[in-house]
A and B are shown apart, each in its own frame.
Chain A
Amino acid sequence: MTVKAILDTDILSEYLKGHNAAVAGRAGGYAKDHGVFTFTSVTVYEIVYGLELKGASSQLNKVMAWLKQNEEITPIDADYLAAATIKATARKQGSIVELPDCLIASIAVRLNRPLVTGNTDDFRAIQKTGVNLAIENWR
């Protein structure tokens, strides 16, 4: 049985393309256990922003219809507070991490769920700030 996780934008994208066998396999196993996928509103924002920018309205409609069948976690006030602490701590340690990564990490830590991402370097910088963030890469 897999544990419930938070999917980052890049892994969700790989799954939606269906071209990466490793990601498709892990996603299939996960879906058997949990039925739906979980991601943050940061990911939804990034997908909508990019598709709006490209004027891809039909793709936007179809991905929104699919996203709505899954679990979206919206950051709460505590996530913003935790994100501020992460960003400041990383900055003092010499790393620049931006708000989207900090918010995603804060949500994953609050819910005690691993973050599934291929963007491991940036999130390792966040781990170094002392937060209990688990990272998985399905690629």
Chain B
Amino acid sequence: MTITLTPDQEQTVRAAIRAGQLASVEEFIERALADLPKGDEAPTVSSPTASTVFEQGLGLFGSPKDAALLDEVVSIAYEERRRPSKRDPTL
């Protein structure tokens, strides 16, 4: 079986490896398989405690659309931060 990851998914996995959260791509696959329901076990919805806060946040906005959106949000924020008051008092 060949699994093809999207570029965003691949980047997220690579970032997790670099950050030390995963040892290798193989470990990523092993963890994904371990998370599958076993036998007649009912599938569970992943809970917020299923992974660490770090893992949940890394790449949360990794898709091109979300990343562009977040860039825009930061750009708006920093534009606001640098916008001087309408009338600066003369010292």
Q: Is the CB of A24 within 8 A of B76?
A: no
Q: Is the CB of A24 within 8 A of B58?
A: yes
Cβ-based interface call for B86 (8 A): no
Q: Is the CB of B72 within 8 A of A54?
A: yes
- Chain B residues touching A, range: 35 or more
A72 CB, nearest partner CB in chain B, Å? 13
| CB contact under 8 A between A98 and B84, given known A46-B73, A50-B72 | yes
* The residue from B20, B58, B72, B84 contacting A32, defined by CB atoms under 8 A apart: B20
* The residue from A24, A28, A66, A100 contacting B81, defined by CB atoms under 8 A apart: A100
* The residue from A31, A46, A56, A66 contacting B69, defined by CB atoms under 8 A apart: A56
Q: Is the CB of B11 within 8 A of A18?
A: yes
Q: Is the CB of A13 within 8 A of B74?
A: yes
* The residue from A13, A19, A28 contacting B19, defined by CB atoms under 8 A apart: A28
22 residue pairs bridging A and B, Cβ less than 8 Å apart: A10-B74, A15-B58, A16-B58, A16-B59, A16-B60, A17-B70, A18-B15, A18-B59, A18-B61, A19-B11, A21-B15, A24-B58, A25-B18, A27-B58, A31-B53, A32-B20, A37-B53, A37-B57, A51-B73, A54-B72, A69-B48, A101-B81
